[in-house]
Structure 1
């Protein structure tokens, strides 16, 4: 039991738990933004294009309600709305990740003067230059012999 507690403390202290919590909080907030975007910005024009049809209420009735039996229906409209939500979320995540990747590539490029290069990339770049110079010196000294 003590070993388990030590492992958990190590896990929490290393930042994994904090990173997960931040991701969940941001994901929840992002979900609210996307839901509002879909329901208040994208769906009204779609509804206008479809002559005021509310997709959420669209269904295929298998058995109508007759007082003693309840209605059984396939709610395909809600499925369309869920698919639209998914496509918007997928596109938004794609755009965000593409932007992050672009900034990351710029930051890791030692030749790029616009963005400050991280120290580890800068050190590796310097080591690469020194090794090239050393190899050139060794080649020149061997050709002189």
Structure 2
């Protein structure tokens, strides 16, 4: 098999396409979730904790050097507010994915719990006879030859 045909076979497999679709949808879902966190959840949360903007929280290790209104050397800081924001984003995304998977699992359980369609008694009897004949050695072995 040539290299190109092998690559084509790999690229059109269902798993690769499913993965690509998942990545695209995941990226879009990440944008929606980021907007939910940044625009809906964080403003009231910041208001509750004295108008603190998490992204601005930081521990300055070394102040910036400014000469004549120009920053000569950037400040060195630990931006723990960005970390808090990322943790909040992660928790919301994880919770949303949990709810989605939980819903899908419940739908699958409901589908599996549906009763099987009624079976025709005649079909059951015929299946039992077939199984008995299949397992009966006296039927499958030829009769001994008479001399």
Q: TM-score under structure 1 normalisation?
A: 0.71
Task: Choose from 93, 107, 114 the match for 1:89.
Answer: 93
Count residues with an aligned counterpart: 121
The Cα RMSD (Å) is 2.8
Where structure 1 has 5 or more consecutive residues not aligned to the other structure, the ranges are 113-121, 139-145
Q: Which residues in structure 2 correspond to 1:1-145 (within 5 Å)?
A: 2-67=1-66, 68-111=72-115, 130=124, 134=128
Whole-Å Cα distance in 2 between the matches of residues 109 and 33 of structure 1?
Answer: 35
Runs (4+) of structure 1 moved beyond 4 Å?
none
Cα deviation for residue 74 of structure 1 reads 0.3
Query: What SS class does the counterpart of residue 65 from structure 2 fall into?
Result: coil
- More helix as a share of residues: 1
Whole-Å Cα distance in 2 between the matches of residues 27 and 84 of structure 1?
Answer: 17
- More strand as a share of residues: 2
Q: TM-score under structure 2 normalisation?
A: 0.70
Cα deviation for residue 70 of structure 1 reads 2.7
1:118 aligned residue: none
Whole-Å Cα distance in 1 between the matches of residues 51 and 43 of structure 2?
Answer: 8
Whole-Å Cα distance in 1 between the matches of residues 31 and 74 of structure 2?
Answer: 33
Larger Rg: 2
Cα deviation for residue 102 of structure 1 reads 0.8
Whole-Å Cα distance in 1 between the matches of residues 110 and 3 of structure 2?
Answer: 42
